Amino acid sequence: MKFLVSALLSLFVSFSTFANDIPDDPLASVQWDDMYGAFLKGYPAVFDNRVKVIGPDFAEDPMNVPITVDASALSGVKRIVIFADFNPIPLIARYYPINAKPSLSFRFKIQQASPVRAAVLTEDNVWHVGGMWVNSAGGGCTVASTGRLLGDWSDFLGDVYGKRWEKDDSTRLRFKIHHPMDTGLVDGIPEFFIQHLSFKNTDGDVLGLVELYEPINENPVLSFDFNKDKSGTDIYMTGVDNNGNEFEAEFVQ
């Protein structure tokens, strides 16, 4: 009996150590351990070249940094978490590709040179992490949005413009939604940002869910690829921001 208890205890300790082991960071960021603890803790992480983070080496416009995340080479993707180590608000987005390819494109605000990472949780409960350094003169998170400066942001709040087109095995959806996406880091301007967007087909099947955070750029432009077998109908998008404003759009077949 003592041997069995000892063996089970040893197995538990080994699993706990593995589940919380932090791999060495190939991008050599002093913030990596903190990022793991904040967003990935609880599951083991591995750095994986199959997780592609594509963006500029230097961000000429720190308020609009284009990024594409593509984890299509992995199977069984449950969740994608995207963050920038050195941003004052590191978390950029969480994406749940329920009936979609594990890929998305967006723009975000960067405050200074930073690793930008995507962590992909698969069905075996392992985080697969990819990333790149994006250099920048910075300041993107602490500048008022253009709409705030012009004073016309409320005239267009929630307006959506988009397009869908069919690919061999998926339906690509790309759209722009008007919103100031204020970070709360500018004096006198509280945080004000889109929090959730969901996508469904005509039958009510959920295609994907995305959680957005303050670093997403003003009037965000987002792209997704939904599975062909579920998206061959009209696609309905609904969303809400942190002030309770609701948004909706329909992308017809």
Q: What are 84-129's pLDDT values in tens digits? A: 999 999 999 999 999 999 999 999 999 999 999 999 999 999 999 9
Distance CA 23, CA 34 (A): 12
Would you identify the CATH topology of the domain 45-251?
A: Immunoglobulin-like (2.60.40)
- Per-residue pLDDT averaged across 198-219, rounded? 98
Q: Enter the pTM of the model.
A: 0.91
| Distance set, CA 185 to CA 88, 170, 182, 215 (Å) | 9, 39, 8, 11
Task: Tell me the one-letter amino acid at 176.
Answer: K
pLDDT of residue 253: 87
pLDDT of residue 20: 54
pLDDT in tens, 125-134: 999 999 999 9
Residue 176 confidence class, pLDDT cut points 50, 70, 90: very high
pLDDT of residue 150: 86
pLDDT in tens, 29-80: 999 999 999 999 999 999 999 999 999 999 999 999 999 999 999 999 999 9
What would the two tokens of residue 95 be?
């994406």
Between these two residues, 137 and 212, which has the higher pLDDT value? Answer: 212
Residues in contact with 231: Cβ distance below 8 Å, sequence separation at least 6, in sequence order: 99, 170, 171, 201, 207
Residue 202 confidence class, pLDDT cut points 50, 70, 90: very high
Residues in contact with 126: Cβ distance below 8 Å, sequence separation at least 6, in sequence order: 43, 44, 45, 46
